[in-house]
Structure 1
Amino acid sequence: MTASPVPWGRSVAWKILGSFQVVPFQAAIPGTISRARKITIVGNVPFHANRWVSDAAWRGTWGMTGNIALHINPRLRERALVRNTQMQGIWGSEERHLSTLPFMPGQAFQISVNGLRVFDYVHRIPANQVDQLQIAGDVTLSYVQY
């Protein structure tokens, strides 16, 4: 995937070159996350999609010993939007309850953190420690901004 940073005020925007690029996407988040800061992800959920994941990580760590402040995992076949935190490689309790699933196969989407409210999530790792964003799975991206 080819991505290029685009200046956008005090934030960084990644315009994904070409339409509907495949993932994984991984990038550093400059500065710190706060209530006033917004993360926007624009993409498309393919018709064949089962699940995809967006992780906001702490100090750039993923995997068995990783720290993921916010794990968002739409599981379309289960009709669930899983949210969780991983601290030192150990997952916390999943949150799954939503009245409707905001992602559907074959439809475009835009995620705005601190924009339109889709769900509430109590931070288990301070948001100001988040410094990485990773997106992987059955999804295509056209734009990421933070």
Structure 2
Amino acid sequence: MAVASIEKDAINTEDDLHLNNSFGDAGLLSPYKEDISRILTVPFSGRIKGGMRPGKKIIVMGIVDPEPDSFDISLMSGHAGDKDDDEVADVALKLRARFTDRQFLRNAKVSGKWSEEEATIAYFPFIPDQAFRIEIHCEHQRFRIFVDGHQLFDFYHKVKPLLAIDRIRIDGSLQITKLG
């Protein structure tokens, strides 16, 4: 399974920055370790090079804030040019970890309409002030979501074609340590 190559949006920067997607013994490596805070600030918005396709996966590693409220990870498609991209973009998958009621929600927005949130999970995998690793595997019919190596749920595609899913946005009560 290929790890997605993600580029940070060129907002207030001179050129696009690319995050390495190779694996080492310690996990996902970034070529910008010495300057990682400049690249992976929250909120984070970046491009998924080549879009999504079956066999591709997104890995988000981070640390939950000590007193978290919630955090979101969204995979999106559609571009609005100079307008607010989030207003017109389709959201293929929005993951929301909500700490007040220990829910890990997911839904999608197609043509401006949000689907009903799916909430059923076996357990809530996130702990304040602790590290986590989320893997989003893209398959033909669905995304398969793993947290810390445990499969939590599947989310069936509502946005197609998959190649159009070409952006990621991360926001909320977390620090991103590695992304690929």
Query: Which TM-score band (shorter chain)?
Result: 0.7 to 0.9
| 8 Å contact kept, 2:122–2:152 | no
Looking at structure 2, the residues matched to 77 and 140 of structure 1 have their Cα atoms a distance apart, in angstroms, of 19
Looking at structure 2, the residues matched to 92 and 109 of structure 1 have their Cα atoms a distance apart, in angstroms, of 27
Give the aligned residue type for 2:96: N
Relative to structure 1, the CA distance from residue 66 to residue 18 in structure 2 (aligned partners, 3 Å threshold; closer, same or farther) is: closer
1:80 aligns with 2:99: no
Number of matched pairs: 141
Q: Percent identity?
A: 23
* Deviations 1:42-84 (CA, angstroms, capped at 9, x unpaired): 1000121010100000124643333100000000111101100
Which residue pairs with 2:174 in the alignment? 139
RMSD: 2.6
Looking at structure 1, the residues matched to 158 and 37 of structure 2 have their Cα atoms a distance apart, in angstroms, of 36
| 8 Å contact kept, 1:63–1:89 | no
State the structure with more CA Rg.
2
Relative to structure 1, the CA distance from residue 23 to residue 7 in structure 2 (aligned partners, 3 Å threshold; closer, same or farther) is: closer
Looking at structure 1, the residues matched to 110 and 53 of structure 2 have their Cα atoms a distance apart, in angstroms, of 20
1:90-129 correspondence runs (5 A): 90-114=113-137, 116=149, 117-126=151-160, 127-129=162-164
**TM-score, length-scaled by structure 1:** 0.84
Which residue pairs with 2:62 in the alignment? 43
| 8 Å contact kept, 2:63–2:176 | yes
Give the aligned residue type for 1:142: T
* Deviations 1:11-70 (CA, angstroms, capped at 9, x unpaired): xx7656149x64000011111312211100010001210101000001246433331000
Relative to structure 1, the CA distance from residue 34 to residue 49 in structure 2 (aligned partners, 3 Å threshold; closer, same or farther) is: same
| 8 Å contact kept, 1:60–1:132 | no
Gapped regions of structure 2 (runs ≥ 5): 1-7, 23-28, 138-145
* Deviations 1:110-136 (CA, angstroms, capped at 9, x unpaired): 111126422111111123320000000
Which residue pairs with 2:141 in the alignment? none
Looking at structure 1, the residues matched to 19 and 86 of structure 2 have their Cα atoms a distance apart, in angstroms, of 29
Partner of 1:118: helix, strand, or coil? strand
Of 102-111 and 59-68, deviating more is 59-68
Relative to structure 1, the CA distance from residue 123 to residue 4 in structure 2 (aligned partners, 3 Å threshold; closer, same or farther) is: same
Gapped regions of structure 1 (runs ≥ 5): none
